[in-house]
Amino acid sequence: MEEVIIIGSGCAGWTAAIYLARAKLSPLLVTGSEPGGLLTTTTLVENYPGFPLGIQGPELMEAMRKQAERFGTRVKYLSVVTDFQCNGKIKRVKIDDEWLETKAVVIAVGARPRKLSVPGESELETKGVSYCATCDGALPVFRNQPLVVVGGGDSACEEALYLTRFASVVYLIHRRDALRASSIMAERVLNEPKIKVIWNSVIEKVLDPKEDRVTGVLLRNVKEGTTNLLECRGLFVAIGHVPNTQIFEGKIELDEKKLIKTTEGTKTSVAGVFACGDCVDGVYRQAVTAAGMGCMAAIDAERYLREKSI
């Protein structure tokens, strides 16, 4: 019988592990198939407190792992949670092909950015293709360069406005002839002289994998069918995120975006199950906010175990 199982190994998961291990609860953390989460796919992280010169994403995740293990966290590397049962006080978690029982669960499975799925996108990820302007926009490679944002909602507008601080020009690519964003966000974008909106267009290809960096995007006008090459040095994809919550559907309460609903901190609809990080947060999605939520979930889980005396 486990005291607590943590599902996920991003900032939220490792932070929860640090707190729970220091509380002498000997947590078991399941990393998933991609240990470290989204931060392992980034390069320089400049906005995580405590690192004045920045730190590489994988290096930050490795440091968190070592810190968690130092206090007694046990880790199932590259293992995947394939099923989950939460009826009654005792929860059952299927890790690969093995069922384990636990008194509490912390879910920190994160979310993945929705991708364009066009040629060149995956090859140039971290080489000019980004899914987070707040994370990467201030990097030297993007300063005083033409940048492209794709999307038409509030997130895309926020990303485009943020990038005007660094870019020479920001092109906002949208497949329709009007933004889906809120009126105030759309107005800000349309009134910003450094943002040029390209309507009724989609990206067909990201260039140029042969140069190992982004040099431009091939656009197609969806109404006219014409194509043209737009030169740029960075592509920021802002078409939404997909929470990694599929196995929890029908078992704990999710919202319309498939994010886990929480109340009173990190409590889910099932007693003894707590959730944190990007599988809960559809607004901020930052490493530091995920870490903070991981701390909250650990404290909530510790109090639950102490009060319930399961």
Q: Which domains does the chain have, with CATH numbers?
A: 2-112+241-309 (3.50.50.60), 115-237 (3.50.50.60)
Single out the residue of 129, 111, 132 nearest to residue 120, CA to CA: 129
Supply the Cα-derived Rg of the chain in whole angstroms. 21
Greatest alpha-carbon pair distance for the chain in Å reads 67
CB 11 within 8 A of CB 289: no
Helix axes 11-22, 287-308, angle to 10 degrees: 40
Instruction: Name the active-site residue from 11, 86, 136, 279.
Output: 136
User: What pLDDT score does 153 carry?
Assistant: 92
Which segments of the chain have a pLDDT < 50?
Answer: none
Active site residue 135: yes
Q: Pairing between strand 98-107 and 91-95?
A: antiparallel
Q: Which of 86, 135, 157, 279 is catalytic?
A: 135
pLDDT at position 87: 86
The active-site residue out of 86, 132, 157, 232 is 132
| Alpha-helix runs per DSSP H in 101-197 | 133-136, 154-163, 183-190
For the chain, give the number of residues: 310
H or E element that contains 228: strand 227-231
* Rounded CA separation 169/142 (Å): 11
- Kindly tell me the sign of the dihedral angle through the C-alpha atoms of 282, 284, 286, 289: negative
- Regarding beta strands 146-150 and 55-56, do their DSSP bridges make them parallel or antiparallel, or are they unpaired? unpaired
Inter-axis angle of helices 154-163 and 183-190, nearest 10: 30
- Give the angle subtended at the CA of 299 by the CAs of 294 and 302, to the nearest 5°: 125
86 is catalytic: no
